[in-house]
Amino acid sequence: MAYEFVKTRREGSVLVVTMNRPDVYNAMHAPMHHEMSQVWDEFAADPDLWVAVLTGEGDKAFSAGNDLKYTARGGKGTAPPTGFAGLSSRFDLEKPIIAAVNGFAMGGGFETALSCDVIIAADTATFALPEVKVGLFAAAGGIQRLSRQIGRKHAVDMMLTGRHVGAEEGFRLGFVNAVVPRDRLMQVAMDKAQEICAVSPSSVKATKRILNGMDDLEQLKATLLYSRLVISELRETEDFTEGVNAFVEKRKPQWKNR
């Protein structure tokens, strides 16, 4: 079906999903979260689709994450139960998703990539969890997934500073599977998708089922629910209001610590 904020196309057993708000660097708001959740619902239910490739429209951004300007303007709505991009709190998907990161992946954009099974990054890609700079924290799984994928010390450094990490450093840290030239990104991602399609889809689903079970044993769902509780409390602080306003007004925030 047609979507307003997402583009999809089928290539054999592969679903290509493109986040499509390039005017705001593919930042996501509530309507987009719900569209993407529907995309993943349909992907999960279609027996002829085995692998998905997720990327962003345009040359600059995979996704800038949460659309703070939409929030500051009083934009309505919340993410669906399946979480950020309809993916961060989806715990039962048994089909792999490859993130083809074509530019910067900031905040929720990075968390969306971390929710995928494989990350192929263009050599121009940049990653960060900069939420602490605007009075938030990485509540859409960034804390949990990054610390599990690269280890706590390196993850804490990124989370507490909000610093930017290039694709090559991301590869060395371990959250990026491969770094490729920008003009070859989609071809390499599609080649990886076809490589997965060449093996038993039943075996892939069984493998994903075990991985999902490991997430359950590690209480991923419970810790993400706790993140929602903490972020709701944080939204009541003066620092949250100041952080969002400073971001929209393009100025340095004046923190009050209350």
CATH number at residue 8: 3.90.226.10
Q: What pLDDT shows up at residue 90?
A: 96
Parent domain of 50: 1-182+200-258
Residue 109 included in any domain: yes
Q: What confidence tier does 131 reach under pLDDT thresholds 50, 70, 90?
A: very high
Residue 187 included in any domain: no
Residue 60 included in any domain: yes
- Which residues touch 75 (CB under 8 Å, ≥6 apart)? 29, 30, 67
The catalytically annotated residue of 111, 169, 218, 249 is 111
The catalytically annotated residue of 94, 131, 169, 195 is 131
Q: What confidence tier does 71 reach under pLDDT thresholds 50, 70, 90?
A: confident
What sign does the dihedral 137-143-147-150 (CA atoms) show? negative
Residue 190 included in any domain: no
Average pLDDT over the chain, rounded to an integer: 95
Mean pLDDT confidence for 13-41 = 97
Count: domains in the chain: 1
Residue 39 included in any domain: yes
11 included as an active-site residue? no
Q: What confidence tier does 78 reach under pLDDT thresholds 50, 70, 90?
A: confident
Q: What is the CA radius of gyration of the chain?
A: 18
- Which residues touch 74 (CB under 8 Å, ≥6 apart)? none
Q: Which of 19, 39, 155 is nearest to 86 (CA)?
A: 39
Please give the model's pTM, rounded to 2 decimal places. 0.94
131 included as an active-site residue? yes
Residue 258 included in any domain: yes
